[in-house]
């Protein structure tokens, strides 16, 4: 009877409700393209570390401080900026954020000292801290009834950008010198133009977005339940990104050490893993829209455990095959986790986006450092034997409420599932 009433409510929903649930694909495409540009330029800094070390005679400790300066501004500022823009929306902060990246790249191309490189890294990090929470909010605004799909399309842009950046750095900056990094500022300029149009669209639809978020509010959870759920999501993010870092940062070393592969062959295996990560990112969101985000989180985190437990104990063929399976499954979690968290606190889309993107940045950096120390103290194989158990943290997913069912019971006209 209850399902029949919900179906009737959806059929009799007003045209205004239908408009709020429409998915604006051109805006999602623009924000995904901008994410590609942003993360591509961010990755240039990491790609030219060897040039910076040699050209400015830097120590490894100074390289670490550059990473710290970038990570602090890129991760710690994100939730603060998201919190501020939730209270006082700034639709045109997106091109401003891209402008910070532009200035950072120009400064990096001309930096003649360690201090100048630090300032450049902080400017690039500030650009990222402004871009991610606000762009994730715009993706949610344009998503209509398909927030998972929108988040996945937005996220795949960043994945592609992170992969393209080092390649372009190798083709342009390495042969031409560090000064050629200034050419990458042209990509930032393109981003500023695209994001200016996105900001204009965002300012026109801000009121309808607040209306939709108000309709989603009231998921029946207490503050204590919401806080507990956010804490569980944080632990799941820890599990995911620590394990992902073990592969993205140390997989080539593992293959070279255990199987004696040359660097080129190990990098091909790494590319296969990263390609699988991109595929998993695309799949996670729309599948969550259809079957529910909690089910995707279950499968993505805990479901990968059998494969991570096997990986340290098999031969080269199955190591390569399992790494692809792991990348495909584990990557599908992020979009589902972000959208699930946004639905936990529907009035704080920017804050939640900034918190989780910032946490992802932070976990990646901290994980790489700690796992590197573990590898130095023991062996690279020990890293994978330890990390194999991290997905078991996915058992905590059992304590997450099923938000979609609660929303359907309370508001039959909100967030309808796509037709089969």
The reply to whether 328 falls in a domain is yes
Q: Summarize the confidence of residues 311-329 as an average pLDDT.
A: 93
The reply to whether 412 falls in a domain is no
The model carries a pTM of: 0.69
Evaluate whether 79 touches 200 at the Cβ level (below 8 Å): no
Answer with the one of 221, 254, 275 that is the final residue of a domain.
221
9 pLDDT above the threshold of 50: no
Q: What pLDDT was estimated at residue 211?
A: 63
Answer with the one of 199, 221, 243 that is the final residue of a domain.
221
Stronger pLDDT, 335 or 2, i.e. the higher one: 335
Distance CA 99, CA 204 (A): 22
Looking at the structure, do residues 162 and 16 belong to the same domain, yes or no? Answer: yes
| 372: CATH | 1.20.1250.20
Q: What pLDDT was estimated at residue 207?
A: 67
Task: List, for residues 112-170, the tens digit of each pLDDT value.
Answer: 888 898 899 899 888 888 888 888 888 888 887 788 888 888 888 887 887 777 777 77
Rounded to 10 deg, the angle between the 293-301 and 316-331 helix axes is: 160
Q: What pLDDT was estimated at residue 105?
A: 87
15 pLDDT above the threshold of 70: no
Q: Summarize the confidence of residues 62-67 as an average pLDDT.
A: 76
Residue of 409, 393, 416, 10 lying closest to 221 (CA atoms): 409
Q: Summarize the confidence of residues 43-54 as an average pLDDT.
A: 75
Lowest mean pLDDT, pick from 93-107, 165-179, 387-401:
165-179
Answer with the one of 158, 189, 221 that is the final residue of a domain.
221
Looking at the structure, do residues 189 and 318 belong to the same domain, yes or no? Answer: no
Q: What pLDDT was estimated at residue 268?
A: 81
Looking at the structure, do residues 130 and 259 belong to the same domain, yes or no? Answer: no
Q: What pLDDT was estimated at residue 1?
A: 44
The DSSP line for 103-115 is: HHHHHHHH--SHH
Looking at the structure, do residues 14 and 162 belong to the same domain, yes or no? Answer: yes
Nearest-5° angle of CA 135, CA 116, CA 58?
Answer: 110
Stronger pLDDT, 261 or 263, i.e. the higher one: 261
pLDDT band at 404 (very low <50, low <70, confident <90, very high): low
Residue 264, domain extent: 222-400
Stronger pLDDT, 365 or 233, i.e. the higher one: 233
Share of the chain above pLDDT 90, in %: 15
The reply to whether 193 falls in a domain is yes
Distance CA 340, CA 182 (A): 39
Output the average pLDDT for the chain: 79
Looking at the structure, do residues 259 and 239 belong to the same domain, yes or no? Answer: yes
Q: What pLDDT was estimated at residue 316?
A: 94
Q: Summarize the confidence of residues 217-221 as an average pLDDT.
A: 63
The reply to whether 420 falls in a domain is no
Q: What pLDDT was estimated at residue 361?
A: 67
The reply to whether 369 falls in a domain is yes
Determine whether 412 is exposed, middle or buried from the number of CB atoms within 10 Å of its CB (0-12, 13-18, 19+).
Answer: buried
Looking at the structure, do residues 36 and 152 belong to the same domain, yes or no? Answer: yes
Stronger pLDDT, 27 or 3, i.e. the higher one: 27
Looking at the structure, do residues 99 and 230 belong to the same domain, yes or no? Answer: no
Q: What pLDDT was estimated at residue 217?
A: 54
Overall domain count for the chain: 2
Evaluate whether 282 touches 156 at the Cβ level (below 8 Å): yes
85 pLDDT above the threshold of 60: yes
Looking at the structure, do residues 59 and 39 belong to the same domain, yes or no? Answer: yes
Stronger pLDDT, 205 or 215, i.e. the higher one: 205
Q: What pLDDT was estimated at residue 60?
A: 64
Looking at the structure, do residues 103 and 201 belong to the same domain, yes or no? Answer: yes
409 pLDDT above the threshold of 60: no
Nearest-5° angle of CA 44, CA 45, CA 50?
Answer: 100
Looking at the structure, do residues 385 and 366 belong to the same domain, yes or no? Answer: yes
Looking at the structure, do residues 51 and 63 belong to the same domain, yes or no? Answer: yes
Q: What pLDDT was estimated at residue 210?
A: 65
Distance CA 323, CA 71 (A): 27
348 phi, psi to nearest 5 deg:
-130, 55
Return the half-sphere exposure (C-beta side, CA atoms, 13 A cut-off) of residue 315.
Answer: 1
Helix (H) or strand (E) holding 28, with range, is helix 25-47
The reply to whether 130 falls in a domain is yes
Q: What pLDDT was estimated at residue 317?
A: 94
Looking at the structure, do residues 217 and 234 belong to the same domain, yes or no? Answer: no
Q: What pLDDT was estimated at residue 410?
A: 46
Residue of 152, 122, 125 lying closest to 136 (CA atoms): 152
Q: What pLDDT was estimated at residue 58?
A: 77
The reply to whether 188 falls in a domain is yes
Stronger pLDDT, 77 or 124, i.e. the higher one: 124
Structure tokens at 55: 């050209």
The reply to whether 65 falls in a domain is yes
Structure tokens at 15: 């045209």
Distance CA 226, CA 217 (A): 13
pLDDT band at 215 (very low <50, low <70, confident <90, very high): low
């Amino acid at each position: 009877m209850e399902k029949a009433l919900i179906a009737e409510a959806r059929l009799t929903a007003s045209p205004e409700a239908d408009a709020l649930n429409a998915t604006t694909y051109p805006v999602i495409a623009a924000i995904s393209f901008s994410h590609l540009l942003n993360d591509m330029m961010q990755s240039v800094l990491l790609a030219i570390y060897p040039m910076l070390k040699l050209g400015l005679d830097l120590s490894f400790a100074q390289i670490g401080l550059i990473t710290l300066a970038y990570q602090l501004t890129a991760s710690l500022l994100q939730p603060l900026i998201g919190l501020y823009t939730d209270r006082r929306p700034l639709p045109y902060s997106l091109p401003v954020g891209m402008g910070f990246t532009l200035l950072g790249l120009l400064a990096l191309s001309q930096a003649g000292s360690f201090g100048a490189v630090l300032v450049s890294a902080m400017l690039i990090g500030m650009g990222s801290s402004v871009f991610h929470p606000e762009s994730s909010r715009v993706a949610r605004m344009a998503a209509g009834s398909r927030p998972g799909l929108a988040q996945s399309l937005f996220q795949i842009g960043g994945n592609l950008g992170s992969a393209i950046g080092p390649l372009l750095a190798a083709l342009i900056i390495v042969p031409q010198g560090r000064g050629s990094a200034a050419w990458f500022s042209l990509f930032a300029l393109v981003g500023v133009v695209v994001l200016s149009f996105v900001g204009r669209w965002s300012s026109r639809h801000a009121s309808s977005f607040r209306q939709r978020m108000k309709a989603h509010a009231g998921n029946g959870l207490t503050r204590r339940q919401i806080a507990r759920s956010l804490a569980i999501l944080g632990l799941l993010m820890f599990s995911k990104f620590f394990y992902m870092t073990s592969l993205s940062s140390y997989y080539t070393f593992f293959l070279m050490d255990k199987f004696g592969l040359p660097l080129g062959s190990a990098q091909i295996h790494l590319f296969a893993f990263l390609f699988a990560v991109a595929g998993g990112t695309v799949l996670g969101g729309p599948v969550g829209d259809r079957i529910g985000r909690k089910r995707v989180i279950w499968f993505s985190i805990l479901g990968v455990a059998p494969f991570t437990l096997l990986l340290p104990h098999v031969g080269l063929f199955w190591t390569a095959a399992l790494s692809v399976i792991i990348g495909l499954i584990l990557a599908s979690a992020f979009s589902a986790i972000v959208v699930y968290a946004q639905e936990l606190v529907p009035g704080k889309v920017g804050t939640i986006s900034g918190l989780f993107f910032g946490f992802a940045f932070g976990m990646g950096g901290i994980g790489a450092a700690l796992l590197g120390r573990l590898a130095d103290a023991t062996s690279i194989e020990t890293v994978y034997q330890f990390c194999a158990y991290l997905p078991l943290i996915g058992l905590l997913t059992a304590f997450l409420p099923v938000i979609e069912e609660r929303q359907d019971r309370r508001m039959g006209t909100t967030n309808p599932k796509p037709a089969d």
